[in-house]
Chain A
Amino acid sequence: MTKKDVSFVRHDTIPPSPPPASETGLVKWMRQNLFAGWFNTALTVLAIYFIVKFCLFAFPWFYNGVWDAGSIKECREILKAAGKQTGACFAVLVDRWDHLLFGFKYPADQYWRPTLAFVLMLVAAAPALFYMYVPRKFLLFTALYPFIGFWLVWGGSLWVPLTILVAIIATAYVFRAVEQLQVGPRQVLAGIVGLVAGVGLAYLLYLGAKELWFISGSMGSGGVLSMLFGLLFKAASIFMFVFFIPMGIFVGYAIYSDAEDGGLVTVVTALFAIYVMLAYLLGPISGAINSVIPIELEAVPSRDMGGYMLCLILGSVCVSLSIPLGIVLALGRQSDMPLIKGVCVVFIEFVRGVPLITLLFVANVMLAYFMPPQSNFDLILRVIIMITMFSAAYIAEVIRGGLAALPKGQYEAADSLGLNYTQATRLIILPQALKISIPGIVNVAVGLFKDTTLVSVISMFDIVGMIRGPIQQSTDWISIYWEVYLFAALVFFIVCYSISQYSQWLERQLATDHG
Chain B
Amino acid sequence: MTTISDPSVGTTNQSFRLAMLLNDTRYRSLTFQFIALVAIIAFMAFVGGNLVRNLAEAGLNISYKFLGEPAGYDINQRPIEYDSQSSHGRAAIVGLLNTLIVAVLACITATVIGVVAGVLRLSNNWLVSKIMSFYVEIFRNVPVLIWILIIFSIMINALPGPREFKGDTPSASMILFDTVAVTNRGVFVPSPEFSNSFASTEEVPVTSTGMDWLLILAALVLSWIVATRVSQWASKTQEETGIRPKTWHMRLAIWAVPLAGVLLFLGLTWNIPELKGFNFKGGLQIRGSLLALWFALAIYTGAFIAENVRAGIMAISKGQTEAAGALGLRPNLIMSLVVLPQALRVIIPPLISQYLNITKNSSLAIAVGYMDVTGTLGGITLLQTGRAIETILLLMLFYLTVSLLISAVMNVFNNRMKLKER
22 sampled A-B residue pairs with Cβ under 8 A: A43-B125, A205-B38, A208-B41, A208-B42, A208-B46, A211-B45, A211-B46, A218-B52, A240-B42, A250-B21, A258-B13, A261-B11, A263-B10, A264-B11, A267-B3, A267-B6, A352-B403, A357-B364, A358-B378, A366-B392, A457-B366, A496-B141
B360 touches A340 (CB 8 A): no
* Least distance between A41 CB and chain B CB atoms (Å): 9
Stretch at the interface among A72-80, A91-99, A276-284, A482-490: A482-490
Residue of A44, A212, A357, A496 touching B363 (CB-CB under 8 A): A357
A211 touches B49 (CB 8 A): yes
A358 to B57, CA, bound (A): 25
A349 to B403, CA, bound (A): 9
Residue of A at shortest CB range from B60?
A369
Q: Kindly supply a per-residue 1/0 record for chain B positions 253-267, scoring 1 wherever the CB is within 8 Å of any chain A CB and 0 otherwise.
A: 000000000000000
In the assembled complex, A257 has its CB within 8 A of some CB on chain B: yes
In the assembled complex, B226 has its CB within 8 A of some CB on chain A: no
B400 touches A354 (CB 8 A): yes
* Least distance between A356 CB and chain B CB atoms (Å): 8
17 more A-B residue pairs beyond the given contacts A43-B125, A264-B6, with a C-beta to C-beta distance below 8 A: A33-B124, A33-B127, A40-B124, A204-B1, A205-B38, A208-B41, A247-B38, A258-B11, A261-B12, A263-B10, A264-B10, A268-B3, A336-B29, A357-B363, A358-B392, A361-B378, A489-B150
* Least distance between B279 CB and chain A CB atoms (Å): 23
B360 touches A47 (CB 8 A): no
Q: What residues of A have a CB within 8 angstroms of the CB of B123 in the complex?
A: 40, 43
A34 touches B399 (CB 8 A): no
B392 touches A361 (CB 8 A): yes
Residue of B at shortest CB range from A229?
B48
Interface residues of A, dominant DSSP: helix
A337 touches B33 (CB 8 A): yes
In the assembled complex, A113 has its CB within 8 A of some CB on chain B: no
Residue of A at shortest CB range from B120?
A43
A260 to B13, CA, bound (A): 8
Residue of B4, B32, B48 touching A340 (CB-CB under 8 A): B32
Which bracket fits the contact residues of B?
35 or more
Please report the number of residue pairs spanning A and B whose Cβ atoms sit closer than 8 angstroms.
242
Check A451/B143 contact, CB under 8 A, given A33-B125, A211-B46. Answer: yes
Q: What residues of B have a CB within 8 angstroms of the CB of A452 in the complex?
A: 143
A358 touches B10 (CB 8 A): no
Check A264/B33 contact, CB under 8 A, given A48-B127, A369-B50. Answer: no
Residue of A at shortest CB range from B144?
A450
In the assembled complex, B252 has its CB within 8 A of some CB on chain A: no
Interface residues of B, dominant DSSP: helix
A34 touches B48 (CB 8 A): no
* Least distance between A236 CB and chain B CB atoms (Å): 5
In the assembled complex, A13 has its CB within 8 A of some CB on chain B: no
Q: Kindly supply a per-residue 1/0 record for chain A positions 326-345, scoring 1 wherever the CB is within 8 Å of any chain B CB and 0 otherwise.
A: 00000000001111100100
Residue of B at shortest CB range from A44?
B127
A212 touches B47 (CB 8 A): no
In the assembled complex, A372 has its CB within 8 A of some CB on chain B: yes
Check A373/B143 contact, CB under 8 A, given A211-B48, A357-B364. Answer: no
A237 to B11, CA, bound (A): 31
* Least distance between A57 CB and chain B CB atoms (Å): 10
A236 to B38, CA, bound (A): 9
In the assembled complex, A430 has its CB within 8 A of some CB on chain B: no
Residues of B within 8 A of A (CB): 1, 3-4, 6-13, 16, 18-19, 21-22, 29, 32-33, 35-38, 40-42, 44-57, 61, 123-128, 131, 137-138, 140-147, 149-150, 153, 157, 356, 360-361, 363-364, 366-367, 374, 378, 388-389, 392, 395-396, 399-400, 403-404
Q: What residues of B have a CB within 8 angstroms of the CB of A497 in the complex?
A: 137, 141
A453 to B146, CA, bound (A): 8
Q: What residues of B have a CB within 8 angstroms of the CB of A350 in the complex?
A: 400
B149 touches A485 (CB 8 A): yes
Residues of A within 8 A of B (CB): 29, 32-34, 36, 40, 43-44, 47-48, 51, 197, 201, 204-205, 208-209, 211-212, 214-215, 218, 220, 233, 236-237, 239-240, 243, 247, 250-251, 253-254, 257-258, 260-261, 263-264, 267-268, 271, 336-340, 343, 349-350, 352-358, 361-362, 365-366, 368-373, 420-422, 446, 450-454, 456-457, 464, 468, 481-482, 485-486, 488-489, 492-493, 496-497, 500
* Least distance between B276 CB and chain A CB atoms (Å): 29
Residue of B at shortest CB range from A50?
B131
Residue of B at shortest CB range from A46?
B128
A421 to B7, CA, bound (A): 8
A481 to B131, CA, bound (A): 26
A343 to B40, CA, bound (A): 9
Residue of A at shortest CB range from B158?
A57
Q: What residues of B have a CB within 8 angstroms of the CB of A47 in the complex?
A: 125, 127-128, 131
A456 to B364, CA, bound (A): 11
* Least distance between A222 CB and chain B CB atoms (Å): 10
* Least distance between B128 CB and chain A CB atoms (Å): 5
Q: What residues of A have a CB within 8 angstroms of the CB of B124 in the complex?
A: 32-33, 36, 40
B3 touches A271 (CB 8 A): yes
A488 to B141, CA, bound (A): 12
Check A369/B51 contact, CB under 8 A, given A212-B41, A243-B38, A451-B143. Answer: yes
A97 to B138, CA, bound (A): 23
Q: What residues of A have a CB within 8 angstroms of the CB of B8 in the complex?
A: 263-264, 267, 421-422
Residue of B at shortest CB range from A270?
B3
Check A338/B360 contact, CB under 8 A, given A370-B47, A492-B146. Answer: no
Q: Identify the interface centre among A29, A215, A240, A267: most chain B CB within 10 Å of its CB.
A: A215
Check A500/B140 contact, CB under 8 A, given A263-B9, A457-B367. Answer: yes
* Least distance between A229 CB and chain B CB atoms (Å): 10
Residue of B at shortest CB range from A482?
B153
A250 to B16, CA, bound (A): 12
Of all A-B residue pairs in the complex, the 5 with the closest CB atoms, nearest first, are A211-B49, A496-B141, A33-B126, A208-B42, A353-B403
A261 touches B395 (CB 8 A): no
Q: What residues of B have a CB within 8 angstroms of the CB of A451 in the complex?
A: 143
A383 to B200, CA, bound (A): 55
* Least distance between A232 CB and chain B CB atoms (Å): 11
Q: What residues of B have a CB within 8 angstroms of the CB of A263 in the complex?
A: 8-11
* Least distance between B299 CB and chain A CB atoms (Å): 13
A366 touches B46 (CB 8 A): no
A239 touches B125 (CB 8 A): no
* Least distance between B136 CB and chain A CB atoms (Å): 10
* Least distance between B137 CB and chain A CB atoms (Å): 6
A214 touches B52 (CB 8 A): yes
Q: What residues of A have a CB within 8 angstroms of the CB of B9 in the complex?
A: 254, 258, 263-264
B54 touches A373 (CB 8 A): yes
A447 to B71, CA, bound (A): 37
* Least distance between A264 CB and chain B CB atoms (Å): 5
* Least distance between A18 CB and chain B CB atoms (Å): 24
